[in-house]
Amino acid sequence: METKSHLVAPSLLSSNFLELANEIDMLNKSKADWFHLDIMDGRFVPNITFGFEIIKQIRTKTQKTLDTHLMIVEPEKYIERFREAGADIITVHYEASNHLHRLIYQIKETGAKAGVAINPHTPICVLEETLPFVDMVLIMSVNPGFGGQKFITTATDKVAKLDRIRKKHKYKFLIEVDGGVNLDTGKILLSAGANILVAGSFIFGSENPTKTIEQLKIL
């Protein structure tokens, strides 16, 4: 899963749920590359968001990549259902799985791309044995659960370390960052080696979300 230039993945968690169809239509027409879906179960994180039926409806409205970030316990129970609902990329948390290697291959067997995410307190080194097998690594630059949080600056160092490892071993995984992304932090993260910028409140809270996406694309 390679990319020649960085991607922008607006997080629907920050969209207006009462106007979700219109928000999706706006993203379809924008320069956004992916739709980022934060799936929360109220157990791994203190919030509950999209379920399978909503994902299915979103899938019918767009042909853009559905980047599905599972912030749930026991993700292995639901991988096939998320794929059936329309997920193109399924990212699971290192902190939520006791058998991460098995889970990565469970995702791949569905035909989806497999990603692994780590929380702000989790060091890069725990992924050492996993990196040869994943399509993407998601660095959380806020504590997961809610949008609109302040960027945790140590995420930049994690991205840089991960990029060095990737270059040393010639791995092909992409580096995605989620949390507190704006024009300033986005530029820093891209310089450190990030490939995908997830932005929620910065996009949907702006006066012109389409223009804001364009600004993130040209960083």
Evaluate if residue 191 carries a pLDDT over 90: yes
pLDDT value of residue 147: 65
Q: Is the pLDDT of residue 56 over 90?
A: yes
Q: Using CA atoms, how far apart are residues 114 and 7, in angstroms rounded to an integer? A: 17
State the catalytic residue, choosing from 33, 38, 41, 135.
38
Q: What is the pLDDT of residue 94?
A: 97
Can you tell me the distance from the alpha carbon of 219 to that of 73, in angstroms, rounded to the nearest whole number?
Answer: 35
In this prediction the pTM is 0.95
Residue of 41, 163, 178, 184 marked catalytic: 178
Q: In this predicted structure, what is the pLDDT of residue 183? A: 97
DSSP conformation class of 135: S
Averaged pLDDT for residues 59-72? 95
Provide the 3-class DSSP secondary structure of residue 30. Answer: coil
> pLDDT for 121-164, tens place per residue?
999 999 999 999 999 999 999 887 666 678 999 999 999 999 99
Whether 67 is catalytic = no
pLDDT at 145: 65
Instruction: Please state whether beta strands 174-178 and 89-93 pair in parallel, antiparallel, or not at all (unpaired).
Output: unpaired
Domains, in order of start, for the chain: 7-217 (3.20.20.70)
Q: Determine whether 25 is an active site residue.
A: no
Q: What is residue 46's predicted lDDT score, i.e. its pLDDT?
A: 87
- What are the DSSP calls for 140-155, one per residue? ESS-TT-SSPPP-THH
